[in-house]
Amino acid sequence: MAQYVPSRWLAGLLLGVTISAYAAPNAQQLLEASDAMRNPDKSFSLTTTLIDFHGGRQTDQDVLTVYSKIDPDSGQYRSLIRFDSPARDAGKLLFKNGLDLWFYDPSSQASVRISPQQRLLGQAANGDVVTVNWAHDYMASFAGEQDITDGDRQTKHCYELALVARSAQATYHSIDLWLDVATHRPVKARFHAESGTVLKVSYFRRFEQQLGAVRPTEIVIIDGLEPDWVTVMRYSNYAWKAIPEAWLQRDYLARFSPE
């Protein structure tokens, strides 16, 4: 009886080449491509609206203006975030430079170093609202392919990447990230504490053409322990923005004026 030989393997044997279909994709390159979809490659501004829900009912909302600019030396973003509303928080600032994150309150005129892991609103941490290139903060490895349900309850065939933080100062110890095989768009992410506990699960939604690329304009963040707690981050008012270097200095926060 003739032995069955898989046609793909046989084609490769006849051609004398290694079959790349069985080679794992380059995880770090996939992560870099995903970063490029999430983040513009030049200095920009946008509005981030954080909406907090508990049991399906809205409980809080913050509106922030984000100014971000790539540091040519590190390849990571420096970001300045202005609180626009509610009124009690208007004028407060967050400033990210490298792995350092600072909070400025105009009422005290003091800037205080804070943790990126600390919650800002609902399930959104301080580190979630600043612009971050994950490829700089995390090492990625390929964890396989699988079909998952996305934020619109559609099935997507995805690559799964396992990300491990390069530094303890990263917002999360590790991240599981799923990217659409067809488009490399981010679909879902699962964030872990150092203990392995799932802190939150995020879904990337509402992809739109913004600043030269199709980008997710909404992220739904679900608490890892209490799924009734949900925070929605919505991005709007994208614009290329020439950001003065003076804005991105800690000692300038007290004098900051956006226009």
- 258: pLDDT strictly greater than 70: yes
Instruction: Give 14's pLDDT tier (boundaries 50, 70, 90).
Output: very low
Q: Residue 124 pairs with which residues in a beta bridge?
A: 121
- 235: pLDDT strictly greater than 80: yes
- 10: pLDDT strictly greater than 60: no
Instruction: Give 72's pLDDT tier (boundaries 50, 70, 90).
Output: confident
CATH of 27-255, one of 2.50.20.10, 3.30.930.10, 3.40.50.970, 3.40.640.10: 2.50.20.10
25-43: pLDDT as tens digits: 899 999 999 999 999 989 9
The strand ranges marked E within 93-197 are: 93-97, 100-105, 110-113, 119-121, 124-125, 138-149, 155-165, 174-180, 186-192
Longest dimension (CA), the chain: 86
Nearest-angstrom CA–CA distance, 196 and 179: 22
More confidently predicted of 170 and 203: 203
In this structure, the chain runs to a length of 259
114-147: pLDDT as tens digits: 988 888 888 888 889 888 889 999 999 999 999 9
- 11: pLDDT strictly greater than 80: no
Percentage, residues of the chain above pLDDT 70: 91
| Average pLDDT along the chain | 88
pLDDT for 166: 93
pTM to 2 decimals? Answer: 0.87
Nearest-angstrom CA–CA distance, 259 and 82: 12
pLDDT for 3: 42
